[in-house]
């Protein structure tokens, strides 16, 4: 204690305050014990060298020697722009800057669980430069420092966050166990390592940025390649197995750069930043790169990063209308959407944090592209994770389906879930939800049997996809054939054939000997005149189009491959319940 007592009181207070301050905002600085004048000198020197070396080559070096566009016009000092040993403000770190008087618009989101208010602590100190309201040379220890260009020079470009922080990662909120428990996508608060909360347990700018060290670019406290920094706090189920986490695909240099705010060159290296921008986000809620939801997907899924050009399908005459609405979709919306809020966005069908390239284990089961999305099961109950493709389709094409129908029907039904319902009795349906009732379907081609099941996307898919014989993407993104059909289907009262009704002929051979009279009817009208492809209260998908078929319009099965109709069609009167072999 004798050595300690030899230290001048003012020097001791200064040393202790500076030691505390250089342990800046939770950022550790190696501490040398403050014993004796020589000890103070060694400690101050070791700290200053470490910090100064990190700042010297960075944008935070605003001295004349740095030669930066915003640097001082006649000052060799580096630290003075933030710190002073005298006349410092009440803030920590011997703060030399005047605080901004701005009132900020904080980040807001329907999914956040944190309470976010005005910036505090280190974040407010950072904003004394980065909100663009206070000149860089405006400091406490002197009237001002003349900067290059003008005394009122301010940060510019992406470094100027402005006073609207709703497009920036939230700061100054308490990140504790309760918050992590309330949000399943957050990990427990970090307590060690490079990522630190402040002394109040709040997340601040300095949680992610170290103002004294720029070896990781953007003053990040750790390397964020593959979203290493993001994943310290964010815990996304299935992310590590997702394509956005694993894909080594690169941009081919065509059209716009899909990653304008990063220097990374692959999908995996960009990780979260494939879609998200932590500062200056175009889509403020959830910090999306772009405000229009689909524009966050198109820069990669236009054939310039991912192999298939999905964006082109959405421009076709029949497509899921992702471009039609903006700002309507919400991740926490009710699966049974109100009709007035009906919409579709890419994220309604795909979970970007989980989607991968895995194939479906069974026809009609989900593939990797549909992992982790919500839907309705065959009973109309919400499922948080679809197990079958049709459960996803029912989300929009069941209770919230809207008309008018593409084809007029004797027994109209817009709710596709009810059309596919396995109710027993005389009803019939394409075997999407369950195997059909009919054990004898002589028209089926050899690759199909009466016990086969099919998927919605066997019929509703891209006309240029691989399954249609093309080279484009499979799936119901868009098609030139209405309603979003993989192949042609004649909806009007005209003769059907393998050219204009290729969709039906994909699975059925209507000209075989078991159906001698069926070919006769095909030669006169559309398959859709008599059959409803989703389902019908009658056997064999019989559900007449009353615009074409008039009269009593009744049908009755009459044994194997035979039935009878009571109707009038094309001037032919079958009102006598005439029996025919179909």
Residues 82 and 202 in one domain: yes
17, pLDDT greater than 90? no
Cα separation, 88 vs 79, in Å, equals 13
426 inside domain: no
Residues 103 and 8 in one domain: yes
Cis peptide bond upstream of 404, omega within 30: yes
Residues 63 and 202 in one domain: yes
**pLDDT, tens digit, 9 for 90 and up, residues 268-281:** 999 999 999 999 99
Residues 220 and 247 in one domain: no
**pLDDT, tens digit, 9 for 90 and up, residues 60-70:** 999 998 877 88
DSSP string, 56-116: HTSTT--SGGG--TT-BSS---SGGGTB-SSS--SSSTTB-BPPP-PPPB----SS--S--
Residues 106 and 83 in one domain: yes
* Domain limit, last residue, from 185, 218, 233: 233
Kindly indicate the confidence band of residue 24, based on its pLDDT and cuts at 50, 70 and 90.
very low
Look at residue 45 in the predicted model and tell me its pLDDT.
Answer: 42
Look at residue 48 in the predicted model and tell me its pLDDT.
Answer: 52
Look at residue 334 in the predicted model and tell me its pLDDT.
Answer: 83
Residues 114 and 224 in one domain: yes
167 inside domain: yes
329 inside domain: no
Pick from 543, 565, 503, 318: which is nearest to 408 by CA?
543
Kindly indicate the confidence band of residue 39, based on its pLDDT and cuts at 50, 70 and 90.
very low
549 inside domain: no
54 inside domain: yes
Higher pLDDT, 477 or 49: 477
* Domain limit, last residue, from 277, 307, 337: 307
What b/e sequence results for 549-581 when a residue is b if at least 16 CB atoms lie within 10 Å of its CB, and e otherwise? beeebbbebeeebebbbbbbbeeeebeeeeeee
400 inside domain: no
Mean pLDDT is lowest, of 28-42, 154-168, 392-406, for 28-42
Pick from 536, 561, 565: which is nearest to 439 by CA?
561
Q: How many folded domains does the chain comprise?
A: 2
Are 174 and 114 spatial neighbours (Cβ–Cβ below 8 Å)?
Answer: yes
Kindly indicate the confidence band of residue 51, based on its pLDDT and cuts at 50, 70 and 90.
low
34, pLDDT greater than 60? no
pLDDT, average across residues 389-416: 94
For the purposes of burial, counting CB atoms within 10 Å of the CB of 256, is it exposed (0-12), middle (13-18) or buried (19 or more)? exposed
pLDDT, average across residues 386-403: 94
Cα separation, 316 vs 293, in Å, equals 19
Counting residues of the chain whose pLDDT is more than 70, the rounded percentage is: 87
**pLDDT, tens digit, 9 for 90 and up, residues 429-439:** 999 999 998 88
40, pLDDT greater than 70? no
Residues 139 and 116 in one domain: yes
Residues 148 and 70 in one domain: yes
Residues 9 and 72 in one domain: yes
Residues 245 and 227 in one domain: no
Residues 149 and 289 in one domain: no
* Domain limit, last residue, from 233, 251, 284: 233
- Return mean pLDDT, the chain: 88
578 inside domain: no
H helices of 411-565, in order, are 416-419, 502-505, 518-522, 527-530
Look at residue 160 in the predicted model and tell me its pLDDT.
Answer: 96
322 inside domain: no
pTM: 0.88
Counting residues of the chain whose pLDDT is more than 90, the rounded percentage is: 69
Residues 122 and 8 in one domain: yes
The parent domain of residue 243 ranges over 239-307
């Amino acid at each position: 204690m004798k050595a300690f007592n030899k230290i001048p009181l003012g020097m001791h207070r200064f040393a202790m305050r500076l030691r505390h301050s250089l342990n800046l905002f939770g950022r550790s600085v190696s501490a040398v014990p403050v014993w004796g004048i020589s000890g103070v000198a060694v400690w101050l020197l070791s700290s200053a060298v470490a910090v100064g070396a990190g700042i010297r080559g960075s944008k935070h070096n605003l001295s004349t020697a740095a030669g930066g566009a915003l640097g001082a016009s006649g000052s060799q000092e580096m630290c003075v722009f933030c710190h002073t040993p005298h006349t410092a403000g009440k803030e920590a770190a011997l703060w030399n800057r005047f605080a901004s008087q701005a009132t900020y618009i904080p980040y807001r989101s329907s999914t956040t669980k944190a309470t976010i208010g005005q910036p505090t602590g280190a974040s407010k100190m950072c904003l004394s430069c980065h909100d663009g309201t206070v000149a860089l040379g405006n400091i406490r220890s002197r009237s001002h420092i003349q900067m290059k260009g003008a005394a009122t020079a301010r940060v510019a470009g992406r470094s100027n966050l402005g006073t609207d922080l709703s497009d920036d990662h939230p700061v100054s909120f308490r990140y504790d166990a309760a918050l992590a428990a309330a949000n399943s996508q957050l990990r427990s608060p970090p307590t060690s390592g490079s990522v630190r909360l402040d002394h109040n347990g709040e997340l601040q700018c300095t949680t992610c940025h170290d103002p004294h060290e720029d070896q990781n670019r953007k003053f990040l406290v750790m390397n964020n390649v593959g979203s290493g920094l993001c994943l310290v706090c964010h815990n996304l189920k299935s992310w590590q197995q997702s394509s956005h986490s694993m894909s080594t695909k690169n941009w081919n240099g065509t059209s716009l750069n899909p990653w304008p705010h990063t220097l990374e060159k692959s999908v995996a290296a960009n990780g979260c930043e494939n879609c998200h921008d932590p500062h200056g986000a175009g889509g403020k809620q959830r910090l999306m790169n772009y405000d229009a939801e689909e524009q966050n997907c198109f820069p990669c899924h236009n054939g310039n990063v991912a192999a298939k050009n999905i964006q082109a399908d959405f421009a076709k005459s029949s497509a899921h209308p992702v471009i039609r609405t903006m700002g309507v979709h919400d991740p926490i919306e009710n699966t049974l959407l109100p009709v007035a809020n009906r919409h579709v966005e890419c994220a309604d069908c795909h979970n970007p944090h989980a989607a991968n390239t895995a194939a479906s284990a069974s026809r009609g089961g989900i593939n990797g592209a549909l992992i982790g999305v919500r839907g309705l099961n065959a009973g109309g109950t919400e499922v948080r994770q679809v197990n079958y493709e049709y459960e996803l389709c029912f989300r929009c094409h069941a209770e919230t389906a809207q008309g008018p129908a593409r084809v007029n029907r004797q027994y109209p039904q817009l709710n596709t879930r009810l059309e596919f319902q396995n109710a027993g009795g005389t009803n019939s349906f394409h075997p999407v939800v369950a195997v059909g009732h009919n054990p004898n379907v002589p028209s089926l081609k050899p690759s199909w049997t009466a016990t086969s099941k099919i998927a919605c996307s066997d019929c509703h898919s891209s006309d240029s996809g691989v399954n249609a014989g093309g080279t484009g993407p499979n799936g119901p993104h868009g098609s030139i054939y209405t309603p979003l059909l993989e192949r042609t289907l004649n909806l009007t009262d005209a003769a059907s054939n393998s050219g204009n009704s290729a969709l039906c002929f994909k699975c059925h051979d209507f000209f075989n000997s078991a159906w001698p009279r069926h070919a006769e009817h095909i030669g006169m009208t559309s398959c859709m005149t008599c059959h409803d492809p989703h389902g019908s209260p009658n056997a064999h998908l019989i559900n007449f189009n009353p615009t074409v078929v008039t009269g009593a319009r009744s049908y009755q099965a009459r044994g194997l491959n035979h039935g009878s109709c009571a109707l009038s069609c094309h001037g032919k009167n079958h009102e006598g319940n005439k029996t025919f072999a179909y």
